[in-house]
Amino acid sequence: MSTASSLRPVPALDLLLADLRELVECESPSSDLAAVERSADLVARLGGERLRVAPERIVVDGVHHLRWTFGADRTDGRVLVLAHHDTVWPIGTLARQPFDVTGGVLRGPGCFDMLAGLVMAMHAIAMLDDGLDDGLDDRLGDGLGDGLGDGGRDGVTLLVTGDEELGSASSRALIEAEALRSSAVLVLEASADGGALKTGRKGTSLYEVDVAGRAAHAGLEPEKGINATLELAHQVQLVAALCDKDLGTTVTPTVATAGHTVNTVPSWGRFAVDVRAWSMAELERVDTALHALAPVLPGAEVRVHGGINRPPLEESSSLPLFERAQAVAARLGLPLLTRASVGGASDGNFTAGVGTPTLDGLGAVGGGAHAEDEHLLVDRLVDRTVLVHGLLRDLLGGSDDRT
């Protein structure tokens, strides 16, 4: 008798790598709308080839998002697969960090976070119509696959957004609306250390603190000024003190600037604040405290902009799906799954925040997200894609155990 692992559909590694190379070499920094549009064009073409249908293009505030909806009439048991095609790397990074595969390690800007996950999502969904086909390479030959229906994919929505790395301002409403009509969300963000799935993420808040003082000549009459740099220094200390190490709440002043010239008492200053917390209660505590900041120096002014960005992804939202993924992996003979809670946020925070069960970190195995050593392990691309495919079949009501 054949085993389930020997009968499962298996994606062709060469196609996974070819698609990933195209995406990595189409640089897509979030803040460059033209680059994001070019990237969306490429994702639409690749997805159209793999899924045999063009996506819906959704443009919000100039940002290009893509959506594939299969079995639109199905209202129960829908599964949202979530990815993004923007990266943190500026145009030109590819020249010094080219796409490369050496010794089983793949490198290139955005490969790990999260272009590989996007490629895996497209291939895993494509395999839902492959039955017991043993690869995507045969199915995608000239003329093959014609006339096949979407029945195996009914109930799947693939949403690929273009501004995740900037906080998803233009895509949040779209993400939450799709989550509300889904029974589960699978997020193809990169894995945690060692391939662990992400069952918990901190929530995030983003702020700018503006400080106003009064300018004066720094040499002739500095006493007539109100030094915004000094006020900024006071506020930075007050803000940093809002952290709570016992609860894991971090409040981190980041980028700061003040003044215009070196011989003038600065009349203005500004600094950014990054907040991370495991609970909404902590995010709300810090939010209240930040908006209540008052100046320390007489005559200075303080204004706070921003607020809570992403709610926490709490383990209660993820553990049932994680346990289901473990069972699927065991049936398919895939590597043992582990889980982790991490400080970074994703669009999975939004989907969990509206009450939809969410499992994150299903993407590539590797490391170095947002860092010069960003990389992934080539030999894990196939088994992770098979896992996503198997979990989709399970959630849609199919069977993964075809012994």
Cite the active site residues: 86, 164
The CA-based dihedral angle spanning residues 45, 40, 274, 302, taken in that order and rounded to the nearest 10 degrees: -170
Whether 280 and 203 have beta carbons less than 8 Å apart is answered as yes
* Peptide bond preceding 114 in cis form (omega within 30 of 0): yes
Single-letter amino acid code for the residue at 118 = L
b/e per residue 327-345 (b: at least 16 CB within 10 A): bbbebbebeebebbbbebb
Q: Residue 135 CB: number of other CB atoms within 10 A?
A: 16
d(C-alpha 355, C-alpha 333), whole Å: 31
d(C-alpha 400, C-alpha 324), whole Å: 12
b/e per residue 305-318 (b: at least 16 CB within 10 A): ebebbbbbbbeebb
d(C-alpha 305, C-alpha 384), whole Å: 41
Quote the tokens at residue 286. Answer: 């810090």
d(C-alpha 368, C-alpha 50), whole Å: 28
What's the maximum distance between 2 C-alpha atoms anywhere in the chain?
A: 92
Quote the tokens at residue 156. Answer: 């799947």
Opening angle at CA 248, ends 243 and 252, nearest 5: 40
Unique residue bearing structure tokens 């697969």: 81
Unique residue bearing structure tokens 């008492």: 265
Residues facing 79 on adjacent strands: 156, 184
d(C-alpha 209, C-alpha 169), whole Å: 20
Sort strands 56-60 and 301-310 into parallel, antiparallel or unpaired: unpaired
Single-letter amino acid code for the residue at 2 = S
Q: Which of 283, 281, 289, 274 is nearest to 203 (CA)?
A: 283
Quote the tokens at residue 229. Answer: 């740099």
